[in-house]
A = this chain, B = another copy of it.
Amino acid sequence: MGMFPKDIDERAMIKRALSVIRPCPFSVGPGDDSAIVEMGGSPVVVATDSVTIERHKPEGMTFEQFGWMSAAVNFSDIASMGGRPVALTLSLGIPDSLGDQEVCDIMSGADQCAEFCGAYIVGGDTKPGSGFVCGTAIGAMEGRNPMTRRGAVPGDMVAVTGPLGSPAAGYHAIMNGLSFPDAVDSLCIPVPRVREGIALASTGAVTSCIDLSDGLATAALTICECSRVGMDIILEFLPKGADVEDVSEETGVPEIDMMIGFGGEYELLFTFNKEGLNSLYSSGVSFSIIGTVTSGREARLVTDDGARRLDYGRY
């Protein structure tokens, strides 16, 4: 995850880095939010992601919140596969400028997020470094089939689990010295959609799923690329998060930029077979349908003025 989506170079670097390793015969991934590893007949979900103070801790975010976030990014990846988080490891690289209190705050924040997600911190390490927290989360599938990025088919519906843009609004509020506490909270204390991921996977109706940690546009493009499909997202269907309108008015940042082009958003984007709509309604998960899967190969944003192609990167 990043405050902004990965740029093309970074994406290409990951692909090249993955091209030199042996493919794993018993795992989904690399390439998904998490890997599924078969361990003695029982599949284990594993996700790893790091955050850095420089890149992921805007002014106004406490070290406790930074710790929460370092855990949340990993639990979110478990959630998007439909896994139940069990354990988390953390490896901290701490600069000289941080004291014991800050390190304890980071650990405490991560532990609170683990508690919220039903998991425990089981190990880790702290050593001198530039200010990074690298987390790895482990989860259980409990008989559910993992939701991947690869199963979307033309005709499926596209949905998100909640309103969009508040983390971006929080970021711009901080940058401009504006007071929008709800938006700032959504940025600083992101909620991994664990309950929702488990419930969605349990329906059997979901054909693909990804979290929005790199923003909606990147998430949609990733599902299109992995599933070899297209996607039409209807602008007016997008649920707007708290403070997005007000922050946009006060800062001049377009609402749409906040809603589709900003990382640090932790709702789930998923596709599902229309036949399964009733099972989704019965699942107890709140969601908004925002578009359809097409047989094209583009992800498009459909507005009253026509459709435009979504791109990786900033908007």
A305 within 8 A of B: no
Selected contact of A24 from candidates B100, B107, B122, CB within 8 Å: B122
Expressed in whole angstroms, the Cα–Cα distance for A106 and B13 within the complex equals: 12
B residues in contact with A209, CB < 8 Å: none
- A41-49, A245-253, A272-280, A288-296: which one contacts chain B? A41-49
Q: Which residue of B lies closest to A21 (CB)?
A: B111
B residues in contact with A178, CB < 8 Å: none
Expressed in whole angstroms, the Cα–Cα distance for A2 and B49 within the complex equals: 22
CB-CB contacts below 8 Å: A44-95 with B? 44, 46-50, 52, 55, 86-87, 89-94
A306 within 8 A of B: no
Q: Are B10 and A127 in contact (CB under 8 A)?
A: yes
Selected contact of A140 from candidates B40, B140, B142, CB within 8 Å: B40
Selected contact of A34 from candidates B2, B46, B121, B123, CB within 8 Å: B123
B residues in contact with A91, CB < 8 Å: 48-50, 134, 136
A-B pairs, top 9 by smallest CB distance, nearest first, are: A130-B130, A134-B134, A35-B122, A24-B120, A136-B136, A48-B89, A35-B123, A21-B111, A50-B91
Expressed in whole angstroms, the Cα–Cα distance for A138 and B138 within the complex equals: 10
A222 within 8 A of B: no
A108 within 8 A of B: yes
Q: Are B123 and A87 in contact (CB under 8 A)?
A: no
Expressed in whole angstroms, the Cα–Cα distance for A45 and B55 within the complex equals: 31
Expressed in whole angstroms, the Cα–Cα distance for A2 and B128 within the complex equals: 10
A132 within 8 A of B: yes
Expressed in whole angstroms, the Cα–Cα distance for A136 and B115 within the complex equals: 21
A30 within 8 A of B: yes
Total copies of this chain within the assembly = 2
Give the Cβ gap from A97 to chain B, nearest Cβ, in Å: 14
Expressed in whole angstroms, the Cα–Cα distance for A25 and B26 within the complex equals: 30
Q: Are B138 and A46 in contact (CB under 8 A)?
A: yes
A14 within 8 A of B: yes
Expressed in whole angstroms, the Cα–Cα distance for A58 and B72 within the complex equals: 34
Q: Which residue of B lies closest to A125 (CB)?
A: B49
Instruction: Given contact pairs A18-B107, A22-B114, A29-B123, enumerate 9 new A-B contacts (beta carbons under 8 Å).
Output: A17-B92, A24-B120, A25-B120, A39-B42, A42-B42, A47-B123, A48-B123, A91-B134, A93-B130
Contacts A22-B111, A100-B13; A44 near B138 (Cβ below 8 A): yes
